[in-house]
Amino acid sequence: MTNTIQHLNDSNFNDTIKGSAKPVLVDFWAEWCGPCRAIAPLLEELADEFTGELSVAKVNVDENPDLAAATGIRGIPALVIYRDGKAAAQHTGTAGLGQLRSFISGAL
For residue range 23-48, list pLDDT tens digits in order. Answer: 999 999 999 999 999 999 999 999 99
Low-confidence ranges of the chain (pLDDT < 70): 1-3
Query: Where do the structural domains in the chain lie, given as residue ranges?
Result: 6-107
Residues with active-site annotation? 33, 36
Question: For position 3, what pLDDT does the model report?
Answer: 62
Give the per-residue pLDDT at 1.
Answer: 44
pLDDT attached to residue 2: 52
Task: Give pLDDT, residue 4.
Answer: 80
Q: Which CATH number fits domain 6-107: 3.40.30.10, 3.30.70.660, 3.30.2000.10, 3.30.420.40?
A: 3.40.30.10
Omega cis (within 30) before 77: yes
In whole angstroms, how far apart are CA 87 and each of 31, 72, 94?
Answer: 24, 11, 19
